[in-house]
Amino acid sequence: MEQNKMASLNTQILRMSGVNPRKCMRCGKCSGTCPAYDEMEYHPHQFVHMVETGDIASLLQSESIYKCLSCFACVERCPRGVEPAKLIEAIRSLKTRPVGQNHITPDEIPALLDEDLPQQAIVSALRKYMK
């Protein structure tokens, strides 16, 4: 049962992202260029491998899905056009969409503000972390 659920989540991730993880040749360039590398438990090339092998449960539980900055460096620089960031985005969306799973809420924002912080930072964080 659990296995079926994971298999269907995997299909959903592939559909949402449009990514084909089997194109990956494990060169690691995506992780090498990732500015959030040090902050991640699983790195971009591992995301690709774990989706390919169906190990979605660990990714859904990992804080790594909130560390991606959407800088598109891995998308740009992957020699095989795999686009790892799109997988990470799909997994993060799956995680935050159900009720009560927001990673950040508007109530937490005031404490994080300073007088120069651009609105752009707040709307971007809410878009990434909240449904």
Partner 1 sequence: MMKVSYFPGCTLKTKAKQLDIYARACAEVLGVTLEELPDWQCCGGVFNTSKDEIATKLSAVRALSAAGKAGQPLVSICSACHNVLKQTNAAMQNDSEFASHVNHYITQTGQGQMAPYHGETTVLHYLELLRDVIGFDKVKSCVKYPLTGKKIGAYYGCLLLRPSSVMAMDDPENPQILEEFIRAIGAEPVIYAMRNECCGGYMTLEEKSLAQKKSTAVLDNASSAGADLLVTACPLCKYNLDKNGQNPLPVVYFTELLAEALGIKEA
Q: Which residues bind ligand SF4 (CB under 6 A)?
A: 24-30, 33-36, 44-45, 48, 68-74, 78-80, 82, 84-85, 88
Site map (CB under 8 A) of partner 1, residues 72-111, x = contact? xx-xx------x-xx--xx--x----------x----x--
Joined together, the tokens standing for residue 40 give 């991640």
Joined together, the tokens standing for residue 37 give 């590398």
Q: Which does 59 bind (CB under 5 to 8 A by kind): partner 1, ligand SF4, none?
A: none
The residues, ordered by sequence, that sit 6+ positions from 93 with a Cβ below 8 Å of its Cβ are 16, 131
CB of 22 to ligand SF4, least distance (A): 10
Cα separation of 55 and 4, whole Å?
Answer: 12
Cα separation of 43 and 85, whole Å?
Answer: 10
The residues, ordered by sequence, that sit 6+ positions from 77 with a Cβ below 8 Å of its Cβ are 29, 30, 33
Contacts with partner 1, residue ranges (CB under 8 A): 15-18, 35-36, 38-39, 66-67, 69-73, 75-76, 83, 85-86, 89-90, 93, 104, 109, 112, 114, 116-125, 127-128
